[in-house]
Amino acid sequence: MKSIMAHGAARPPSNFGAAPVLPAYRVGDLLHVWCRYCKRWHVHGGAAGGHRASHCTVDDSPFRQTGYTLEEISGVVLWVMAP
Ligand SMILES: [Zn+2]
């Protein structure tokens, strides 16, 4: 999967090495990742995990600099986001 960098996004590729790996939970076509800084779920589209720009709304979140890499957790997760 091509990353957003192919479209001239804001961050240089060198920051990818600093991106943390976070567990991502699939609900339908969306991947949900818990953000410890925003204290909310960030929701990402896409068929698979991989590097994403963060959706952080907190100014001092380090994810705003590095993004993060989603590692999809499968098979255990439907209860997490159940209403
Ligand atoms: Zn966040």
Q: In a structure prediction context, what are the per-residue pLDDT tens digits for the chain, which is 83 residues long?
A: 444 444 444 545 555 568 999 999 888 889 999 999 999 999 999 778 899 999 899 999 999 999 999 999 876 545 555 55
d(CA 20, ligand 1 centre) in Å: 12
d(CA 12, ligand 1 centre) in Å: 20
d(CA 64, ligand 1 centre) in Å: 8
d(CA 54, ligand 1 centre) in Å: 6
DSSP string of 11-73? S-GGGGGGPPEEEEEEETTEEEEEETTTTEEEEEESSS-EEE------TT-THHHH-EEEEEE
Note the pTM of the prediction, 2 decimals. Answer: 0.67
d(CA 6, ligand 1 centre) in Å: 23
CA distances from 54 to 25, 32, 40, 59, 79 (A): 16, 12, 12, 12, 24
